[in-house]
Structure 1
């Protein structure tokens, strides 16, 4: 049986430590989708999973592996946080569709089809041209649907995202982004995409990463929660949740890796600039996982009732997990 209410963050990539896991507990997080890789190949991704297996041993009183939706209930019952693995790129499957199932067997539950650039599967949001889902991409989507690996289009371009929604036999996710109409960042999503996502039963997690926020690091809690209220009215509250994109305690070398990987000899600044190349400062009201109660207070202030707040803070993601992670 599912717990009455849960709190789920559908994207973090922090510099993992006991302190961060303790803060997850202080913030009441029952589950977190964590990034396992950006540009790593299969072997490097397996090494990252091995690191997580050690964390599960070292911090077993704070965190546990998440494989199915039932693990959210188990984590809540044991006062721990369930950790679900995700890939921000398709690099771990290399050019081998057989690795889709193996990655799922190793614990992956989300995989983006592209990360900013063109991939073997789809186009990233920073490319000038978007030819859509590739031939391999169509086959990989079908295989992801079969094994229960969620298609995530957070960093993908418009046409590719719309085609993924149409091609996928199961609802997809945009785990961490905001509406382009609220803040016109390349990473944010158009009303057309958000409408198609909701009509297909998909989910979006709203991001707290400053480059995705109106007014950046100076974005107010009121503005963020008013955006959520507007989107609940536009696409339906059942399709929205939180995907904070929290990158707590990471050195700036990590954001350089995210943006540059091994694909360029130049220095790409992504959403930053030469004058501000590092991680942007988080808004004062959302510095770490202990600030999740601030979102509850903010949603209440803009008119959400208790049931609606619970839906946005985690119940919607739990419902999605219940149908998304099983094999077909």
Structure 2
């Protein structure tokens, strides 16, 4: 299978160095750039069984600033209770520390800008508290941008432009996973630092409302950004019946079209969550009605995972599937975590003043 090759830019040279280091025998990292599980010691131990070095976890869907702080308190208790399994990650070096110490680094992210409310000053405060990703929208129109469920997309708002600058300055990554097309393209072009789509798949492979069209992926990747492939069944071709071969074929096609160095995993795993959690995710407090959301004509619920990716213990299955599609060891390692690690190294610190 031919994979993406071209004369590398400076950033791509860094990516190629990572691939060369991996081919030389360095142990690759495994990073999942989105989960929202019903957290427990069982799940943390499964992360260790699966050799998962880092996970980006959602700590806010519709929560305001104070409620988000309470969620951080809950995570601090987990870190205190399970110091042999997990710790709070802040930089790329924490991913390396996690691997060296046999633990999993947990990185905080928001799926909505609600934790900054209408106050741009809270961007820096949330970053100081440990947040490293923030979506500009979650499905709906926000003060910053347009969500993918809206009928019209006027793009990034006046406040959104200012928040993008501030996120660039402090090192809070712009995530457009639930955003509409124009808003995502504008964010990629406006941002002075690469942005991310942490959990989605190409629309051309599975035309789900949340999956991304080629022009959107191109705007993100041509500006140096990253996209994490989702394993949430509504984002997969044939949903829960999606095969590993089909999923890895989608990865191969995306790598050919946009460059292997721009992709990783963002599983969107919602392990052990009760179906009632979907109502909070979809409905929050913005409506009195039930928003059924994508892929559901009746009351929302979590579909079963495909059998080859049930939980954190199954990352090795994806690695094997990628190799069977023609990716060599270095390319497989890049997709499973090294690309995200490079992105963390470059984007979690302060930018230009």
TM-score by length of 2: 0.92
Cross-structure match for 1:234: 257
Give the 5 Å matches for 1:111-126.
111-126=134-149
What is the Cα deviation at residue 273 of structure 1?
Answer: 2.4
What is the Cα deviation at residue 197 of structure 1?
Answer: 1.1
Cross-structure match for 1:133: 156
What is the Cα deviation at residue 117 of structure 1?
Answer: 0.1
Of the three residues 274, 285, 291, the one matched with 2:308 is 285
Question: In structure 2, what is the Cα distance between the partners aligned to 1:197 and 1:93?
Answer: 24
Of the three residues 70, 73, 89, the one matched with 1:50 is 73
What is the Cα deviation at residue 275 of structure 1?
Answer: 3.4
What is the Cα deviation at residue 276 of structure 1?
Answer: 5.5
Of the three residues 27, 44, 50, the one matched with 2:50 is 27
What is the Cα deviation at residue 167 of structure 1?
Answer: 0.5
What is the Cα deviation at residue 274 of structure 1?
Answer: 3.9
In the alignment, is residue 207 of structure 1 matched against residue 265 of structure 2? no
Structure 2's unaligned 5+ residue stretches are: 1-17
Q: Deviation above 3 Å: which 4+ runs of structure 1?
A: 1-4
Cross-structure match for 1:190: 213
Cross-structure match for 2:36: 13
- Name the count of aligned residue pairs: 328
In the alignment, is residue 41 of structure 1 matched against residue 64 of structure 2? yes
Cross-structure match for 1:259: 282
What is the Cα deviation at residue 266 of structure 1?
Answer: 1.1
Cross-structure match for 2:12: none
SS at match of 1:85: strand
Structure 1's unaligned 5+ residue stretches are: none
Cross-structure match for 1:180: 203
What is the Cα deviation at residue 231 of structure 1?
Answer: 0.4
Question: In structure 2, what is the Cα distance between the partners aligned to 1:289 and 1:327?
Answer: 31
Question: In structure 1, what is the Cα distance between the partners aligned to 2:157 and 2:222?
Answer: 23
Indicate the RMSD between aligned Cα atoms, in angstroms. 1.1
Question: In structure 2, what is the Cα distance between the partners aligned to 1:243 and 1:120?
Answer: 25
> Do the aligned residues in 1 keep the contact of 2:292 with 2:298 (CA within 8 Å)?
no
Cross-structure match for 1:96: 119
What is the Cα deviation at residue 272 of structure 1?
Answer: 3.5
Using the TM superposition, name which of 149-158 and 264-273 deviates more. Answer: 264-273
Question: In structure 2, what is the Cα distance between the partners aligned to 1:275 and 1:66?
Answer: 38
TM-score by length of 1: 0.99
SS at match of 2:134: strand
Question: In structure 1, what is the Cα distance between the partners aligned to 2:209 and 2:294?
Answer: 8
Of the three residues 271, 274, 278, the one matched with 2:294 is 271
Give the 5 Å matches for 1:129-168.
129-168=152-191
What is the Cα deviation at residue 196 of structure 1?
Answer: 1.2
Question: In structure 1, what is the Cα distance between the partners aligned to 2:163 and 2:29?
Answer: 31
What is the Cα deviation at residue 312 of structure 1?
Answer: 0.1
Question: In structure 2, what is the Cα distance between the partners aligned to 1:77 and 1:281?
Answer: 33
SS at match of 1:234: helix
> Do the aligned residues in 2 keep the contact of 1:272 with 1:278 (CA within 8 Å)?
no
